[in-house]
Amino acid sequence: MDNNVSKDSLGFLSAFNLKTTPFTSSIDTGNLCQSRQFKDTLARLCYAAENRMFAVLTGPVGVGKSTVLRAFNDAIDSSRFEVLYISQSNLSPRWLYSIPLSQLGINAKFYANDAKKQFHEQLLSITTVKKKQVVMIIDEAHLINHRTLQEIRFLLNCRFDAGNPLSLIIAGQNELCSILEREENQAITQRIDLLCRMTALDDEQTASYIAAHLRYAGATDSIYSTDAIMEISSRSRGVPRIINKICTHTLLYASCQGVQVITKDLVEQVVKNELPQCILM
């Protein structure tokens, strides 16, 4: 069965002549709305990869950190870079090495020091034999405990300060900056080469974001009125994840009601009656 048909049981797509669902996190990176902030962050991450730098990416929940990381992964040359990705809330020193080893097809040894040795052996093999640069991405880094943060310091220090052996990107919510600023983490903070801070979208960026997603879905007419877009910007506080939720619900509501143009009043009704207020606070 066509996926779009199965997702359109309420007439969502056909009501607005859309080819696919517009407001979703699974849009391929080539069709993403790339704001100036998005492009700047992506360029910084690519620069960090090229120059074996340590980059920190922060931002509030829902602003698109994981999306820009996905775009970064697609943007760099896979023939030149080996990307290792970790996203685990209770990341321990052992798992810091075991997860990337598993991605490389290696069974990690049980003890952290043994796994660390294995990882450095693989790092050496990738850089000298395969002639590729290693990029390690650690997502949800604001959840990492102090012990694992210190282990990250040793990741960057295995050549006796002669240069980073890999490109390291750690990403997390804004509290990651507060964690790194603690006195006990100065040895890590001093090694940061690039700091990328993502923020919510302003009114103009929100309008561009909505327009880009509608174009991706094949919309040919103006579905949202100007005041509706401004209301969505205000209610979502410019957070893309919440923009997606509000827009999806308004399209569903409008299709059920036979409404062709989504207005500010309709957005207000949907926000009040159909969305959990906790996500809008």
Q: What does the pLDDT read at residue 261?
A: 93
- Residues 7-30, mean pLDDT to the nearest whole number: 80
Domains of the chain: 3-22+201-280 (1.10.8), 36-197 (3.40.50.300)
The half-sphere exposure of 25 on its side-chain side, counting CA atoms within 13 A, is 14
- Residues 262-275, mean pLDDT to the nearest whole number: 91
Q: Is 54 in contact with 196 (CB distance < 8 Å)?
A: no
Q: Is the pLDDT of residue 239 over 80?
A: yes
Mean pLDDT computed over every residue of the chain: 89
- Residues 226-240, mean pLDDT to the nearest whole number: 96
Q: What is the edge-to-edge ordering of all strands in the sheet holding 81-87? A: 81-87, 133-139, 167-172, 54-58, 194-197
CA distance 85 to 136: 6
List, for residues 155-192, the tens digit of each pLDDT value: 876 554 445 789 999 999 999 999 999 999 988 899 89
List, for residues 69-78, the tens digit of each pLDDT value: 999 999 999 9
- Residues 6 or more apart whose CB falls under 8 angstroms from that of 105 comprise none
Q: Is the pLDDT of residue 9 over 60?
A: no
Bigger pLDDT: 275 or 226? 226
**Cut 0.75: pTM above it:** yes
Give the pLDDT band of residue 221 (cuts 50, 70, 90): confident
